[in-house]
Structure 1
Amino acid sequence: MKTLKTRHQFYLPDDLSETLAALAAKPGASKTAILTDALRAWLERKAGHELDERFGPRLDRQQRIAQRSEATLNAMAEMLDLFVAHQLTLVAHQPPFDEETGRLGLQRYRRFMDQVARRLASNRGALRLAGSTAVKEDGA
Structure 2
Amino acid sequence: MKTRHQFYLPDDLSEALDELASRPGASKSAVLTEALRAWLDRKAGHELDQRFGPRLDRQQRTAQRIEATLNIVAEVLDLFVQHQLTIVAHQPPFDEETGQLGIKRYRMFLDQVGRRLAAAQGQPRLLTLTEDKQAP
TM-score range, shorter chain: 0.5 to 0.7
User: What amino acid is the match of 2:42?
Assistant: K
> In 1, Cα distance between the equivalents of 2:118 and 2:78?
25
**Following TM superposition, by how much is the alpha carbon of 1:70 offset from its aligned partner in structure 2, in angstroms?**
0.4
Counterpart amino acid of residue 72 in structure 1:
T
Residue 43 (structure 1) aligns with: 39
When normalised by structure 1's length, the TM-score is 0.59
- 1:138 and 1:44 map into 2 onto residues whose CA distance is 66
Offset at 1:61? 0.8
Is 1:106 matched up with 2:103?
A: yes
Q: Can you give the 5+ residue segments of structure 1 that lack an aligned partner in the other structure?
A: 7-39
Cα shift at 1:45 = 5.0
Moved over 6 A (4+): none
User: Which of 123, 126, 136 does residue 124 from structure 2 map onto?
Assistant: 126
TM-score (structure 2 length as normaliser): 0.60
Deviation at 1:52, TM superposition (A): 3.3
Equivalenced residues, count = 102
- Summarize deviations over 1:1-40 as a string: whole Å, max 9, x none: xxx815xxxxxxxxxxxxxxxxxxxxxxxxxxxxxxxxx8
**Which ranges in structure 2 are unaligned for 5 or more consecutive residues?**
1-5, 9-35
- Kindly indicate whether structure 1 or structure 2 has the higher relative contact order, using CA contacts under 8 Å at least 6 residues apart: 1
Cα RMSD for the two superposed structures: 2.9
Is 1:82 paired with 2:79? yes
